[in-house]
């Protein structure tokens, strides 16, 4: 017997599409198809229909039917967080204080801190303990409205520890809470034992780790931190091409601290997304326009490290799609709050609320190849959505930043 759920009297049902596009580009991002005074029907965890309360469906079979009255409340697709590092051990609050006292992110890394600090902690943590810590973070972000997430490795930086991270990501995936995409980010930093032999580390990633990862189906994507003192554009291309050969599409950390050619590498290798983009220039925008790569802004990291703002609005005006994601990680953004990300998109980057909602749902779902499963209210997609508290309009969501306006989060039609 099937389980049915019917939401009625929804004040506004957001992002409704009979047939959903894969992503929204340029001026399309300003549109948010909305149904006021609406109902939404779910069967066995899948959205089956929606409509106007004037045409409320006649109910003949009340068996296994749950009805929820959403008067005064808004229902929207859950957030798709296409960039996170929620598998990590411990935290880096001491580095936070060091930065307040004047050290830069780069200086902390040069002293063996930063990503290397997290790698040391992760090495000392058992797989089970790492899983427990990471699971807590997954629960936390689901409560905050995230209903699909991408998670990266990259704090292992050795064969054993990268595999440990990827196995933890797989265990999180196997909890079957929300869709989880896994990204192999072995090229996050060069570990200390390879500091004089970077090529040796790249060979280890490509020749030893990749075959195991693909064999054990531990990753969906491959990522590189393309940056001065990390990996060059040429190295990025080499690593992405190796991943492509094994069927892993790229996702690049690019142009965050300097202009390093990460966008060029990403586009050349047909990456699904290119993320950060603080130093993205006009030539890069031309490249992106002729590609299928989703430019992704991580406002939490730019905020936390006091970086210049990436040109998100300019990209939209230029006719590009843009996604926004959290970058939840212990170093540059210890927060996975996507409602806050949406608010930053509006306040700091001047996206309209419609653009910000699209950037954190449909476009960020594209950035992790989940367009067909989540990101809009469309029949056939997973019933992963947010019911807000009673609010005046969806503009109130980014406006009242910091307030918890989420009443409940539904995953596959079940309240989390
Ligand atoms: O996305 N930019 C590189 N990597 C992460 C941060 C890594 C860290 O500091 O732990 C990021 O910001
Ligand atoms: Fe990141």
Residue-wise pLDDT tens digits, 243-271: 999 999 999 999 999 999 999 999 999 99
Q: Which of 119, 253, 279, 330 to mutate to test the pocket of ligand 1 (most atoms within 8 A of CB)?
A: 253
Arithmetic mean of pLDDT, 79-105? 96
Separation of 107 CA from ligand 2 center, angstroms? Answer: 18
Q: Which protein residue's CA is at the shortest distance from atom 1 of ligand 1?
A: 327
Model confidence pLDDT, tens digit, residues 185-225: 999 999 999 999 999 999 999 999 999 999 999 999 999 99
Model confidence pLDDT, tens digit, residues 304-319: 999 999 999 999 999 9
Arithmetic mean of pLDDT, 377-401? 98
Strand partners, 408: 387
CATH topology of domain 4-78+376-415: Urease, subunit C; domain 1 (2.30.40)
Tell me the percentage of the chain whose pLDDT exceeds 90: 95
Q: Is 256 in the pocket of ligand 1 (CB under 6 A)?
A: yes
For residue 57, is pLDDT > 90?
A: no
- pTM above the 0.95 mark? yes
Instruction: Look up residue 321 and give its two tokens.
Output: 């799609």
Q: Is 113 in the pocket of ligand 1 (CB under 6 A)?
A: no
Decide if 269 contacts 237 (C-beta within 8 A): yes
For residue 63, is pLDDT > 80?
A: no
Sequence-distant (≥ 6) Cβ neighbours of residue 317 within 8 angstroms: 26
Alpha carbon distance 187, 194 (integer Å): 12
For residue 58, is pLDDT > 80?
A: no
Separation of 252 CA from ligand 2 center, angstroms? Answer: 9
Separation of 91 CA from ligand 1 center, angstroms? Answer: 13
Arithmetic mean of pLDDT, 38-48? 96
Backbone φ, ψ for residue 151 (5° rounding): -130, 135
Q: Is 301 in the pocket of ligand 1 (CB under 6 A)?
A: yes
Backbone φ, ψ for residue 364 (5° rounding): -75, -25
- Provide the pLDDT confidence category of residue 373 given band limits of 50, 70 and 90: very high
Alpha carbon distance 328, 66 (integer Å): 35
Instruction: Look up residue 324 and give its two tokens.
Output: 């926004």
Instruction: Look up residue 225 and give its two tokens.
Output: 């931190």
Which ligand 1 atom sits closest to the C-alpha of 331?
A: 9
Least confident of 51-65, 268-282, 318-332: 51-65
Alpha carbon distance 149, 159 (integer Å): 24
**Quick check: helix, strand or coil at residue 364?**
helix
- Provide the pLDDT confidence category of residue 55 given band limits of 50, 70 and 90: confident
What pLDDT was estimated at residue 377?
A: 98
Separation of 115 CA from ligand 2 center, angstroms? Answer: 11
Tell me the percentage of the chain whose pLDDT exceeds 70: 100
Domain boundaries, the chain: 4-78+376-415, 80-366
How many CA atoms are closer than 13 Å to the CA of 206, on its beta-carbon side?
Answer: 18
5-33 per-residue burial string, b: 16 or more CB within 10 A, e: under 16: bbbbebbbbbbbeeebebbbbeebbeebe
Arithmetic mean of pLDDT, 72-85? 98
**Quick check: helix, strand or coil at residue 374?**
coil
Arithmetic mean of pLDDT, 14-42? 98
Q: Which of 331, 334, 341 to mutate to test the pocket of ligand 1 (most atoms within 8 A of CB)?
A: 331
Which ligand 1 atom sits closest to the C-alpha of 225?
A: 3
Arithmetic mean of pLDDT, 275-286? 98
The maximal CA–CA distance of the chain, rounded, in angstroms, is 72
Alpha carbon distance 110, 399 (integer Å): 39
Q: Which of 153, 188, 191 to mutate to test the pocket of ligand 1 (most atoms within 8 A of CB)?
A: 188
For residue 1, is pLDDT > 80?
A: no
Alpha carbon distance 275, 87 (integer Å): 19
Protein residues near ligand 2, an ion, with CB under 5 A: 327
**Quick check: helix, strand or coil at residue 317?**
helix
Separation of 231 CA from ligand 2 center, angstroms? Answer: 14
Q: Which CATH number fits domain 80-366: 3.30.70.20, 3.20.20.140, 3.90.1150.10, 3.40.50.2300?
A: 3.20.20.140
Sequence-distant (≥ 6) Cβ neighbours of residue 235 within 8 angstroms: 187, 198, 202, 224, 226
Residue 127 is inside which H or E element, if any?
helix 127-143
Q: Is 185 in the pocket of ligand 1 (CB under 6 A)?
A: no
Average pLDDT value over all residues in the chain: 96
Q: Is 253 in the pocket of ligand 1 (CB under 6 A)?
A: yes
Backbone φ, ψ for residue 198 (5° rounding): -60, -40
Backbone φ, ψ for residue 305 (5° rounding): -100, 5
For residue 77, is pLDDT > 80?
A: yes
Separation of 332 CA from ligand 1 center, angstroms? Answer: 6
What pLDDT was estimated at residue 356?
A: 98
- Provide the pLDDT confidence category of residue 159 given band limits of 50, 70 and 90: very high
């Amino acid at each position: 017997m099937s389980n049915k759920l019917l939401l009625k009297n929804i004040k506004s049902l957001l992002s409704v599409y009979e047939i959903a596009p894969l992503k929204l580009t340029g001026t399309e991002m300003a549109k948010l198809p909305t149904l006021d005074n609406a109902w939404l029907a779910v069967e066995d965890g899948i959205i089956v229909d929606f409509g106007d309360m004037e045409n409320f469906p006649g109910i003949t079979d009340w068996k296994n039917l749950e009805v929820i009255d959403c008067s005064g409340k808004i229902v929207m697709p859950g957030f798709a967080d296409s960039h996170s590092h929620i598998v990590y051990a411990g935290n880096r609050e001491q580095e936070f204080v060091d930065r307040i006292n004047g050290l830069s992110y780069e200086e902390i890394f040069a002293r063996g801190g930063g990503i290397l600090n997290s790698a040391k902690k992760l090495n000392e943590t058992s797989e089970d303990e790492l899983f427990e810590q990471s699971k807590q973070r997954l629960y936390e972000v689901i409560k905050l409205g995230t209903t699909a997430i991408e998670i990266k490795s990259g704090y292992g930086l050795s064969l054993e520890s990268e595999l440990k991270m990827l196995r933890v990501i797989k265990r999180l995936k196997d909890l079957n809470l929300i869709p989880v995409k896994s990204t192999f980010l072995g090229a996050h930093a060069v570990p200390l034992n390879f500091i004089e032999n970077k090529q040796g580390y790249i060979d280890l990633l490509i020749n030893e780790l990749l075959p195991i990862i693909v064999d054990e189906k531990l990753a969906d994507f491959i990522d590189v931190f393309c940056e001065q003192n990390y990996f060059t554009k040429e190295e990025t291309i080499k690593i992405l091409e190796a991943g492509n050969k094994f069927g892993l599409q790229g996702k690049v950390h690019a142009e965050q601290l300097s202009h390093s050619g990460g966008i060029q590498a990403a586009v050349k290798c047909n990456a699904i997304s290119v993320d950060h983009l603080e130093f993205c220039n006009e030539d890069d925008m031309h490249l992106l326009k002729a590609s299928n790569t989703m430019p992704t802004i991580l406002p939490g990291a730019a905020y936390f490290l006091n970086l210049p703002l990436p040109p998100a609005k300019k990209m939209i005006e230029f006719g590009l799609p843009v996604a926004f994601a959290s970058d939840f990680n212990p170093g540059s953004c210890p927060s996975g709050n996507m409602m806050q990300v949406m608010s930053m998109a509006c306040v700091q980057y001047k996206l309209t609320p419609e653009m910000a909602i699209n950037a954190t749902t449909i476009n960020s779902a594209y950035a992790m190849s989940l367009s067909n499963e989540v990101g809009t209210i469309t029949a056939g997609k997973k019933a992963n959505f947010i019911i807000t508290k009673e609010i005046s309009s969806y503009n109130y969501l980014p406006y009242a930043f910091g307030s918890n306006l989420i009443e409940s989060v539904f995953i596959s039609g079940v309240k989390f």
